[in-house]
Amino acid sequence: MIGGGTDAFIGAIHRAAAFMDNRIELVCGCFSIKPEISISSGKQYFVPDDRIYTSYQEMFEKESKLPKDKRMDFVTIVTPNFAHFEPAMMALDLGFNVVIEKPMTFNLDQAKKLRDKVNETGLTLALTHTYSGYPAVKQAKQMIEEGKLGNIRKVFVEYTQGWLSDRVELQGENNATWRTDPKRSGKGGCVGDIGTHAWHLSEYITGQKVTKVCGELNAFVPGRPIDDDAAAFFEYDGGAKGVLMACQVAIGEENALKIRVYGDKGGIEWNQQEPNTLLFKTSTRPTEIYRVGNGFMNDASKFNTRTPGGHPEGYIEAFANIYKNFSLTLDAKLNGETPSKAMLDFPNVNDGVRGMQFVETMVASGYDENKKWFDWVE
């Protein structure tokens, strides 16, 4: 693991998610750019002293010299956006598979290089678009693949939070500081941080790709040098239209990611804050409440479920599904087998490239007051 010291939020989630299924062990790491924090964190995580490193370069070098059955199988990168690319490239070069936080890189150019490297090495890269890991989301995706919604017409996807309603980045709020600093976050603020999740979810569930964007970006909080609000109209390649809303100044909202998809036969609605429920709507029958863990759920949902109905699964379990499927894929490849579609069901380097394209397209469109529609940046 690179990053994820005891002072960081997302690293702890990665570890809980990775450990949950008893398939993954934390064997080494460089947990902070501050050596003392890396060491104290590693000790607290029960990592052997000689495998707690103080730079990722050192880690990769030493680990790559260990015998195959001793060295780490993959590395998780949970640093701020600007520090994703170099360690990921180095990992791939030295033969390590990679799990990486989104957005995948600092800019689109890096993303494409990473994609080329993955293709060249044949290694596996997982991107933690967590929300696609929920079983109810898998249910929705499979229902659409099976035609239960008919031709998709309209997508509403929204992701609202309130934690940036004040300028908390000036008050020492760690998670806010780098996210609102274009030098560390990249061109996109809100659009990169949560807009990417919302956009990705819409492509993941519908199986359609956005081709055109009419976007709007706002920075509502005085003095903030990057967007804290974004909206867009979408056109998808399968004929659907969409509206995206992403807002980090929706005061009082926690983490309100919600998607609705309407076809000519049926519609679905899913809300991340009650993630075990999926509504299915038609024109002639009562709306149905699909609940995770029940016998009537489909295969994709069941493959990613740990508990029976009514025993709620949450964010960490969704996260764990990415790790579980990633590790099943690694195992299959290690055994010379072809991973199944179910094993490969995690966001990968291609999602990462498209994510950076999404940010680029939104930034181009959002800051242009004249031109209405922008083609997807390639």
DSSP class of residue 55?
S
Binding mask 34-73 for a second copy (x = CB under 8 A): -----------xx---------------------------
| Closest by CA position to 51, among listed 72, 32, 37 | 72
CA distance 312 to 314: 6
Question: Measured from the CB of residue 374, what is the shortest distance to a second copy in angstroms?
Answer: 10
**By C-beta, is 313 or 351 nearer to a second copy?**
313
CA distance 100 to 167: 28
Question: Measured from the CB of residue 216, what is the shortest distance to a second copy in angstroms?
Answer: 5
**By C-beta, is 262 or 326 nearer to a second copy?**
262
Say which residue the tokens 């010299």 belong to.
65
Quick check: 349 binds a second copy (CB under 8 A)? no
**By C-beta, is 214 or 344 nearer to a second copy?**
214
216-235 residues near a second copy, rule: CB under 8 A: 216, 218, 220, 229, 231, 233
Quick check: 314 binds a second copy (CB under 8 A)? yes
Question: Measured from the CB of residue 326, what is the shortest distance to a second copy in angstroms?
Answer: 17
The one among 31, 290, 323, 326 contacting a second copy by CB under 8 A: 290
Specify the stretch interacting with a second copy by CB under 8 A; choose among 27-35, 181-189, 311-319, 328-336. Answer: 311-319
The verdict on whether omega for the bond into residue 48 sits within 30 degrees of 0, i.e. cis, is: no
Three-state DSSP at 3 gives: coil
Burial of 150 (0-12, 13-18, 19+ CB in 10 A): middle
Quick check: 282 binds a second copy (CB under 8 A)? yes
CA distance 184 to 81: 6
Question: Measured from the CB of residue 122, what is the shortest distance to a second copy in angstroms?
Answer: 26
Binding mask 131-170 for a second copy (x = CB under 8 A): ----------------------xx-x-x-xxxx-xx----
235-254 residues near a second copy, rule: CB under 8 A: 241, 243, 245, 247, 249-254
User: Please, what's the b/e burial string for 212-233 (b: 16 or more CB within 10 A of its CB; e: otherwise)?
Assistant: bbbbbbebebeebebbbbbbbb
Measured CA distances, 260 to 208, 257, 353 (Å): 14, 11, 25
- What's the farthest any 2 CA atoms get from each other in the chain? 65
The one among 111, 316, 322, 328 contacting a second copy by CB under 8 A: 316
CA distance 188 to 278: 31
